[in-house]
Structure 1
Amino acid sequence: MTPQGLDNFSPPSDLAECQEMLGDLVGTLKQAFGRLDEKDEQIQELQQRLQQLLRAKFGRQSESIDPDQLKLFGALIDAPLESAEKTSETVVAKNGTKHGRRKPAKNLPRRRVVHELSKEELGCPGCGAERTAIGEEVSERYGYIPSCVEVIEDVRLKYACSTCQEHVVIAAVPNKPIPKGLADSSMLAYIATSKFADHLPLNRLEGIFRRHGADIPRSTMCDWMAFTAGLVTPIYEEMKRRILGSKVIWTDDTPVDLQDREHEKNIRQARIWAYLGDADNNLLIYDFTDSRKRDGPVKFLQDFEGFLQADAYAGYDGIYAGNLVREVACWAHARRKFFEAMPSNKAAASWALRCIQVLYRIEKRIAKNSPDVRREVRQGRSKKVLAIFKRWLDKNCVIELKGPLAKAIRYALNQWDALCTFTEDGALTIDNNKAERAMRAIAVGRKNWLFAGSRDGGKRAAILSSLIASCKLHGVDPLAYLTDVLSRLSSAKAPDIALMTPDKWMPVS
């Protein structure tokens, strides 16, 4: 029966017909209520998505909660770290960020400009004698020396015997990074740093060079970068070897567009993966794959044994299957899902966020302590919070429960063992944020160079980005680093390569 038919509805007089009609109406109502439930779910999901988009566009980005909500766990957070006080050195708290004018760094070159009185101003207004300098006041300001492109002329002197004019010899010339090429190591280093550290696409660099009077086409620079990536590949492989020898590896990935003329629209999605080593192998490298299939991380990590801290991507499951690699989940991901559930169920989501925030408060207190102390505190305090949170999750995991809160609860329960792994070892972290931060440089660069021109181009970009990102980890100037190693790599031996990674590099004086 349609809604329009209800206007002229008259019930049948026969009881059997009434019962049959009643059965039909009950069936119709069940279907209608089912459709209404589906629409309610769709509306709830759309409202939740709208709230996320509005918050991302206009709202506060922080996932912080009211500090008063943490009072229930005050004893677990604020109790003194007795073992930490006995086994670790005292850490002096740093002052907060100071505001106001900052003095220029002392390591910057100085150019002294002396300001003197004119001859007329030297006269003393009292007695008329000439005044002499008795001291000085110094103030500083920033200046800028424009960069320039120079041409280096390698002049090789020829020598012959002064008596017989024979036995001619010619002075040797230093090895060039590119044999018979026009680019010096400083030029290659500048282009690589500009593209992969400062995120300038080659067409902009072409314009910059043109302003300096140098005609260097982007196609030439592209060839130079290909050669440079090949030249530093031994360093990249050494960095990879050391990272795979780590006790813990942090990993994340991000999409990049790959130019593919065989694909519809000539573009398809590839992937760049970040891998960070532990404290003894504090290096960051990127790996390029032409898809997000599990083959990428499986191949890269095939020789790794230890802890892998990552998101809940199903492609990692095969890596964990052999029990040589332990999964460490990310509490930031779990927290984010409960934060997204706040608009639909504030009370329950706030309770979950409160528990997670306590875990982070504990981590903040022990961040400067040794791994042994961190493990001890996690075993004694964090596990108590986890036990409380687990009971709450089990209690609220109702099969009929739907919506963002249900998704957050099920995510936490599905990942529970991996979420608790960080308490087992002090070398682990509570979340995977350090790997996510490593992807920011790729995300910023992606907005400028837009896509990888080929698979080989993507791999070369990953290699050069790895060296530059690792330089930043250790406060090393990537321009100075690349200029130096590119001038030495052509004659370097295997033992020299191990000392050319950014964490061990020492410039040749």
Structure 2
Amino acid sequence: MSNAICATEHARIVAENQALHGELKELRRQLAWFKRQLFGEKSERHQILGPAVQANLFDPAATPVPEQQEREKITYTRRKGKNRDNAANDTGLRFDDSVPRRVIEVPPPAGRESDEVVATRTTFRLAQRRAGYEILEYRHPVLKERSSGALTSVPAPRNVFEGSVFDVSFAAGVLVDKFCYHLPLYRQAQRLSQAGIQVARSSLTAVVARASPLLAPIAQAQLAHVLSGGVLAMDETPIKAGRKGPGKMHQGYFWPLYGEGDEICFTFSPSRGGAHIERTLAGRFHGVLLTDGYAAYERYAAGQPQIIHAQCWSHIMRRKFERALDSDPAAREALEQIAALYDREQSIRARGLHGEDKRQARQEQCAALVLDFWQWCDAQLQRMDLEPRHPLLKALGYVRERQSALAVFLEHPDVPIDTNHLERGLRPIPMGRRNWLFCWSEVGAEHVATIQTLLVTCRLQGMDPTTYLIDVLQRVGMHPAARVEELTPRCWKTRFADAPLRSDVEP
């Protein structure tokens, strides 16, 4: 009886040891992957990675151990915030003598040139040049009619924001600094202060809040055009937006959509659920939907016969086979096969082929490589030495489930092989997230989506976003609503870029 108990206990210990050994191997794989993410190469072109850089940082022998020091507990009382009554707002503008100033004489209206000028009123506006700030001093006369003696004041030129002290050039500069160069508003306020101009941060926030509704119809018109195309790339990226509780922010998501005409649109949703995909695409898009491996896209496309679902080759390299590099040499062989496919695709792109010519070239040069890759994956799946948790087995299973979606690009010449163009387009969101960190409210996130839609598209179209914003913010109030699509960056480039509306601060 004792021998049987010992045998049972021995079997239990052996099984437990094997389980711990497998868990240790998995943790080592994860550690190696994290090392490559921090210190290794990150190119997605071939993704054949060399040894990690600075791996000795994880060597305990090479890491100095800090001496334990006594900690002193310090208590303090927080000081009351500074008085900001001297900061500028929409009721006035405060600046010192070091700020450059330009005087602009406002002429009398037509037909009243003969009236007597009895006084001059002054209106100040804060403008922004490309390399600094300048005060626009409008001197508009007060006229006295010779016949009746009635006094009339000539108004200052119309401003984009009624009653605001900020010129359109300054509003455009605030938006470009925040959303193109990721400069938070409080840093912009600090820069203004160093230039001798006191502007309240709340006033800068108001500039963003007032500009976004003016630009929202243009962003919606661009979204409608993107959804009318035959190929659409879609992804999602997280953003903290809205308060969840004391000291906590809610996790929201921006969903970028990249169209065929090098246009990108950002939409916001408070969740990552598939309901946003249906809300955005249902009844509006018919064609090929190119995505990563997120299951919500596949579920939506499966119920839409008018949509063909394609998936990204870069994701199976970066997120699957790359993770198996330290576990099995066969993972490198997979990456080399995919790299050869990318080389063929690059040669086709370099020839500038389109339509049927591109489809035929892909069939001749890429289809055989894809078929060989499927056969290689099937052969690897027959191996008996791959345990269920092995990273290579996970990568092979990931690919096998998506063979039809990964092969869509062979039959549709307008479909890219990956979503890298979309990944590059959405990069301003994570870059901004590192600087301004979060959106205080979901409404603020909607503002970010609207403005980034236009500014990122300007970059994709090779346009200067400042020139575009200065023109469009002035034009949107007088442009026919039925032709709002003409103000999208793609159309504006051909219709208005040669003679844009400018600010008075520019010569």
TM-score of the pair, normalised by structure 1:
0.75
The CA distance in 2 between the partners of 1:158 and 1:264, in whole Å, is 55
* Structure (1/2) with the larger helix percentage: 1
The answer to whether the aligner puts 1:370 opposite 2:354 as a matched pair is yes
The answer to whether the aligner puts 1:214 opposite 2:197 as a matched pair is yes
Residue 175 of structure 2: which of 179, 192, 216 is its match? 192
The DSSP-based 3-state class of the residue aligned with 1:504 is helix
The structure that has the greater radius of gyration is 1
The CA distance in 2 between the partners of 1:265 and 1:173, in whole Å, is 46
The DSSP-based 3-state class of the residue aligned with 2:182 is coil
What amino acid does structure 1 have at the position aligned with 2:372? Answer: I
**Identity over the aligned pairs, expressed in percent?**
27
Q: Tell me what 1:241 maps to.
A: 224
Q: Tell me what 1:298 maps to.
A: 278
1:491–1:171 distance in 2 versus 1, CA, 3 Å: farther
State the Cα distance separating 1:154 from its structure 2 match.
4.1
| Structure 1 residue ranges without an equivalent (≥5) | 1-16, 68-144
The CA distance in 2 between the partners of 1:295 and 1:442, in whole Å, is 22
The CA distance in 2 between the partners of 1:65 and 1:54, in whole Å, is 15
- More moved, 371-380 vs 234-243: 371-380
State the Cα distance separating 1:294 from its structure 2 match.
1.6
Q: Tell me what 2:89 maps to.
A: none
Residue 213 of structure 2: which of 230, 235, 239 is its match? 230
- 8 A contact 1:52–1:340 mirrored in 2: yes
The CA distance in 1 between the partners of 2:7 and 2:387, in whole Å, is 23
The CA distance in 2 between the partners of 1:492 and 1:153, in whole Å, is 28
State the Cα distance separating 1:169 from its structure 2 match.
6.7
Q: Tell me what 1:103 maps to.
A: none
State the Cα distance separating 1:46 from its structure 2 match.
1.0
The CA distance in 2 between the partners of 1:324 and 1:44, in whole Å, is 45
Q: Tell me what 1:91 maps to.
A: none
Alpha-carbon displacement from aligned partner over 1:280-304 (angstroms, at most 9, x marks no partner): x321111122221222222122221
| Structure 2 residue ranges without an equivalent (≥5) | 50-128, 501-507
State the Cα distance separating 1:373 from its structure 2 match.
2.0
State the Cα distance separating 1:222 from its structure 2 match.
0.5
State the Cα distance separating 1:308 from its structure 2 match.
1.2
The DSSP-based 3-state class of the residue aligned with 1:392 is helix
- More moved, 496-505 vs 263-272: 263-272
The answer to whether the aligner puts 1:37 opposite 2:21 as a matched pair is no
The CA distance in 1 between the partners of 2:406 and 2:251, in whole Å, is 30
Q: Tell me what 1:405 maps to.
A: 392
Q: How does 1:299-314 map to 2 (within 5 A)?
A: 299-302=279-282, 303-314=284-295
Alpha-carbon displacement from aligned partner over 1:365-418 (angstroms, at most 9, x marks no partner): 101222322211222332211221112212222585431101110111111111
Q: How does 1:412-423 map to 2 (within 5 A)?
A: 412-423=399-410
The CA distance in 2 between the partners of 1:57 and 1:476, in whole Å, is 34
TM-score of the pair, normalised by structure 2:
0.75
- 8 A contact 1:298–1:318 mirrored in 2: no
The DSSP-based 3-state class of the residue aligned with 1:152 is strand
Q: How does 1:126-165 map to 2 (within 5 A)?
A: 147-157=131-141, 162=146, 164-165=147-148
What amino acid does structure 2 have at the position aligned with 1:428? Answer: V
State the Cα distance separating 1:147 from its structure 2 match.
3.3
Alpha-carbon displacement from aligned partner over 1:399-450 (angstroms, at most 9, x marks no partner): 8543110111011111111111111111011111111112221111111101
Q: Tell me what 2:264 maps to.
A: 284
- 8 A contact 1:206–1:217 mirrored in 2: yes
- 8 A contact 2:288–2:308 mirrored in 1: yes
Alpha-carbon displacement from aligned partner over 1:10-50 (angstroms, at most 9, x marks no partner): xxxxxxx47xx43x455444433432332232112211111
Q: Tell me what 1:451 maps to.
A: 438
The CA distance in 2 between the partners of 1:307 and 1:227, in whole Å, is 37
The CA distance in 2 between the partners of 1:415 and 1:146, in whole Å, is 49
The CA distance in 1 between the partners of 2:247 and 2:160, in whole Å, is 38
The DSSP-based 3-state class of the residue aligned with 1:482 is helix
The DSSP-based 3-state class of the residue aligned with 1:352 is helix
1:47–1:414 distance in 2 versus 1, CA, 3 Å: same
* Structure (1/2) with the larger strand percentage: 2
The CA distance in 2 between the partners of 1:253 and 1:66, in whole Å, is 26
1:209–1:380 distance in 2 versus 1, CA, 3 Å: same
Q: Tell me what 1:381 maps to.
A: 365
The alignment's C-alpha RMSD in Å is: 2.4
The CA distance in 2 between the partners of 1:172 and 1:66, in whole Å, is 66
Q: Tell me what 1:250 maps to.
A: 233
1:423–1:27 distance in 2 versus 1, CA, 3 Å: farther
- 8 A contact 1:319–1:325 mirrored in 2: no
State the Cα distance separating 1:477 from its structure 2 match.
0.8
Relative contact order (alpha carbons < 8 A, sep ≥ 6): 1 or 2 greater?
1
The CA distance in 2 between the partners of 1:429 and 1:29, in whole Å, is 57
Alpha-carbon displacement from aligned partner over 1:104-154 (angstroms, at most 9, x marks no partner): xxxxxxxxxxxxxxxxxxxxxxxxxxxxxxxxxxxxxxxxx9833333344
Residue 274 of structure 1: which of 233, 236, 256 is its match? 256
Alpha-carbon displacement from aligned partner over 1:434-478 (angstroms, at most 9, x marks no partner): 111122211111111011100000110111111110110011111
The CA distance in 1 between the partners of 2:271 and 2:341, in whole Å, is 35
1:491–1:62 distance in 2 versus 1, CA, 3 Å: closer
Q: How does 1:31-70 map to 2 (within 5 A)?
A: 31-62=12-43, 64=46
